[in-house]
A and B are shown apart, each in its own frame.
Chain A
Amino acid sequence: MSLLMWLFVIPFFSACVAFLLPITGKNLKKIAFVLSLIPLALLVYGFPDLIGSEVKYSWMPLLSIEFYLKVDSLSFLFLALTAVIIPISILPVHSSTLNMPNFFYGWVLLLEGLLIGFFTAHDLAIFTLFWEAMLIPLYFIMNVWGGPQRHQAAIKFLIYMIAGSFLMVAAILGLFLAAGTFNLETLQHVAAAGKYAPWICAVFLLAFAVKTPLFPFHAWLPDAYCQASTSGTILLSALLSKAGIYGILRIGMGLFPLIMKEWSPFLLGLSIAGVFYGGLAAWLQKDYKRLIAYSSFSHVNFILVALFVWNQTAEAGGILQALNHGVTIAALFLVAGWLEERIGTTAFGKESGLAKYMPQLCWLTLFFVLSSVALPGTNSFIGELMILFGLFVVNPWQAAFLALSVILSVIYMLRWMQLIYFQEPAPFQNRWVDIHKRELCIAFPLILLVLWIGIYPAPVLKLIQPSAIKMEKTQ
């Protein structure tokens, strides 16, 4: 079997192991963590030969579906993000209090396999299959482990997602009828020619817009992010939203470039509105988990701005920012989760001045907050700068306006820091212990990524370049 096939199959085997192993507790967590690291190891080992490799089997010849996976540089970046985030989402779990641990690790590993399949699928039917299948582990992760209103949040999430993509099957059948194949490479040349191409494009766009989410398809987001457990929120914010972005890049830009270009002013307007809506909503929150949820929404729309600007620099910045957002938002939810464990609430106003008792957690949080608000030297700075630069070339006024959102993000993020960590210290409580070395170790790879991309982004940008150039060619 080729390396790519191993990469695809191993998470599924790992998931089976996690489901079926008759052990619980710490050992199971260790095993699950090590299993989740295998894809990362394979990616590191296979770089850069993996890019360009493909797997092709005839899967269901009757329906002309091929099992066709292929890694290009775009896929590789998203694969790398998946491989980094999945182990990190396993780590904050407390194995002593986790309910039904086998299922939790099993679902997470299964999600990893489905995401790897999704990010590499080059057959539209398989792509859709993974797209829909991804919901199942996420639904269960949200439904079983999380806050008190998790059942409602999970159902709401599920209904939004399925409603967003229920016509997708009809859309791919429409494409199949026109082209006689599900192969994405062949479809590239014929997809946009069909009579119903705008409709088909709209159906795909709706599905991706709901999952990302693009303003105004975000109603599921605050509840889902708040009610899910820390791990669930990390998976949702860092990986699921990227699936939507990847979908827009792969299907929207890949199959229907001209239609997307025609619609881009409208979509650009929506995403700029989303950036500000998310920012303002985050400012008004009385709960820091909701605050981060809205900030994530705002930043994701920032990425969408980049995709809809239709400029090579902005596009590259958008892809980079998608990775950055994955890293930063995972880190923010991680530190917010630790804070929640210690103070027992996610609401503002009860506790304050915690920097006095938990200085390390405070500085760690501040570091990731600064990364989120795009301080120079952190990863987001590079991404947002490229996006703003690209937008400036196209329309300086819009760029100037969008730049205001950076200020907005500073306001709401520092408000969180101010209300919780600084201000007058509240009386000490026993459970307010600072983070340990173990937690620092979990955060360490994220710190490293933030600084690496912030200070020396060239290697990543080199990987991004081909997909951005490809986009410009199609114009």
Chain B
Amino acid sequence: MNTVLSLVDFAALSPLFVVLATALILLLLECFSKTAAKKYSLFLTALGIVLAIYAAWAAPISHNPLLTPWIRFDDLARLFTLLFLSIGLGAALLSDSFFDRFEASRGEYYFLLLSSLFGLILVGSAADFLTFFLGLETLSVSLYVLCGYMKKWQISQESSIKYFLIGSLAAAFLLYGIALIYGAVGTTRFDALLNGYKALTVLSDQRLFLAGIAFVTFGLAFKAAIVPFHTWAPDVYEGAPTPVTAFMAVGTKAGAFAAFTVIFLYSLPQFNVLWNECIALLAFPTLIYANFVAMKQTQLRRFFAYSGISHAGFLLIPLAVGTSEAIPALVFYLAVYAFATLGAFAGLSFLETRQEGVMLSDLKGLFKRSPWIAGLISICLLTLGGIPPTIGFLAKFYLFKIAFQAGYYSLVIVALFTTILSAYYYLRIVGIMLSESSTKEEIHPSSWPAGIVGFVSVIALIFFSFFPDNLYRILF
């Protein structure tokens, strides 16, 4: 057996290494020179992520038996890696405008951001429950700290401790589930799960396995904030600094669904109809509850928490369907969601002046005061609402199509009904931006990195609305 890692293997792992190395350099920089850290942190982070994107794009595939049991080097893993890195880049650039307003050390912040990105990539490319869990915990632990990054903000303290407690609980469930699965099939490797499950003949073993699956689903549902495991999300999103909220709304959500995809669509495709039906059962309350509650929100970070939960509901549809088309539909939706949410947060980051974040009333008359920012936010919100002719409509349409083909009619009808509600609250925000305002204060994009995020996401959304096929071809 080959026991040496060759250069190809290192190259195959390079995205992870680059992210890790950048993170460590940032930490060192912060130790030695605060001023240098303040100046160059963002630049270094962006450079590191761009390098990692290149590495992920160009990385060879490793067949070394030392690595393949732990990490996958297939197309799906590469796709998720690229998606996460782009999200990370967006979140890092967004943070710049936050640090313009609020004073805090930057090196540590970007270090934590990169660590969580490292965890995310590991989740997306894990080939074993152990690496998967490792990734998930790296992601979560960094995020616990990031949520409370503004140490003196009371809302952040609440947010951080809440996230930590509930997150650890979820992790415990997840780990217990993994243990049960191991007990049933005797392995934690993803590629052996399906055959292991099929080979189970004794009913009690099957039950053990399903119990394990239930716990794993339970743990992931916590991370993805699916009703009824969502209660932490609004408070945590509300209290966290805005760029962290953006990263959680996009990155964690994408991570949780990547985990769902890798475990249930990729490794255990349609292993048991029961699971699909349970997921469909979770989708109903998630869609209905989140959309109803989102209508009443006035703090925008909190609003995005509920909007994120409702999108999690939509993302559950392909999971419930579980056909071969489910993965492309899910990733397509995820990509559109990521672009639109990051774009919206880029717009919001210019408006932020206090720790409570942006309130709905701050948006009054924004079209008159700052038409560009208002236009940016509107396009992103219309996309999130799935309002034609934006790409958001097609993303939803794709989900509905596969659900319809698989016979989940009631799910489609409920989802269509909730799109009415979501259209209402997204359009209401745009309506507020178009209304008259009492203040005449104009807001100009203050930070160019956040401006880039907004610009790129809007251009991408508009372009893909006209040529949606290109997005699909880029992804697959």
B446 at interface, CB cutoff 8 A: no
A174 at interface, CB cutoff 8 A: yes
Once the chains bind, are B420 and A140 in contact (CB under 8 Å)?
no
Instruction: Determine the chain A residues whose CB is within 8 A of the CB of B328 once the complex forms.
Output: 62
Once the chains bind, are A162 and B412 in contact (CB under 8 Å)?
no
Instruction: Determine the chain A residues whose CB is within 8 A of the CB of B448 once the complex forms.
Output: none
Q: Mark A13-27, 1 if CB is under 8 A from B, else 0.
A: 000000100000000
B110 at interface, CB cutoff 8 A: no
A394 at interface, CB cutoff 8 A: no
B61 at interface, CB cutoff 8 A: no
Once the chains bind, are A139 and B413 in contact (CB under 8 Å)?
no
B397 CB → nearest A CB, Å: 7
Instruction: Determine the chain B residues whose CB is within 8 A of the CB of A455 once the complex forms.
Output: none
Instruction: Determine the chain B residues whose CB is within 8 A of the CB of A159 once the complex forms.
Output: 420, 424
Interface segment among B134-142, B146-154, B428-436: the answer is B428-436
- Considering the chains assembled together, what is the distance between the CA atoms of A211 and B405 in angstroms? 29
Q: Mark B406-430, 1 if CB is under 8 A from A, else 0.
A: 0001001100110110011001101
Once the chains bind, are A133 and B388 in contact (CB under 8 Å)?
yes
Once the chains bind, are B393 and A129 in contact (CB under 8 Å)?
yes
A51 at interface, CB cutoff 8 A: no
Interface segment among A40-48, A165-173, A464-472: the answer is A165-173
Once the chains bind, are B469 and A169 in contact (CB under 8 Å)?
no
B84 at interface, CB cutoff 8 A: no
Once the chains bind, are B412 and A173 in contact (CB under 8 Å)?
yes
A177 at interface, CB cutoff 8 A: yes
- A59-B468, A144-B434 are known contacts. Are A166 and B420 too (CB-CB below 8 A)? yes
A62 CB → nearest B CB, Å: 5
Kindly identify which residue among B387, B398, B420, B436 contacts A63, using a CB–CB cutoff of 8 Å. Answer: B398
- Considering the chains assembled together, what is the distance between the CA atoms of A144 and B367 in angstroms? 11
Once the chains bind, are A133 and B420 in contact (CB under 8 Å)?
no
- Considering the chains assembled together, what is the distance between the CA atoms of A103 and B371 in angstroms? 10
Q: Mark B374-411, 1 if CB is under 8 A from A, else 0.
A: 01000000100001110001100110110011000100
Once the chains bind, are A136 and B382 in contact (CB under 8 Å)?
yes
Nearest-CB residue, chain B, relative to A62:
B472
Q: Mark B294-314, 1 if CB is under 8 A from A, else 0.
A: 000000000000000000000
Interface residues of B in 8-28 (CB under 8 A from A): none
Once the chains bind, are B404 and A140 in contact (CB under 8 Å)?
no
Once the chains bind, are A132 and B393 in contact (CB under 8 Å)?
yes
| Interface set of B (CB-CB < 8 Å, partner A) | 328, 367-368, 371, 375, 382, 387-389, 393-394, 397-398, 400-401, 404-405, 409, 412-413, 416-417, 419-420, 423-424, 427-428, 430-431, 434-436, 468-469, 472
| Interface set of A (CB-CB < 8 Å, partner B) | 19, 58-63, 99-100, 102-103, 114, 125, 128-130, 132-133, 136, 139-140, 143-144, 151, 154-155, 158-159, 162-163, 166-167, 169-170, 173-174, 176-177
Task: List 22 interface pairs A-B (beta carbons < 8 Å), by A numbering.
Answer: A19-B375, A59-B469, A60-B394, A60-B469, A60-B472, A63-B398, A100-B434, A102-B371, A130-B389, A136-B427, A139-B431, A143-B434, A144-B431, A151-B435, A155-B424, A159-B420, A159-B424, A163-B420, A166-B417, A166-B419, A169-B400, A170-B409
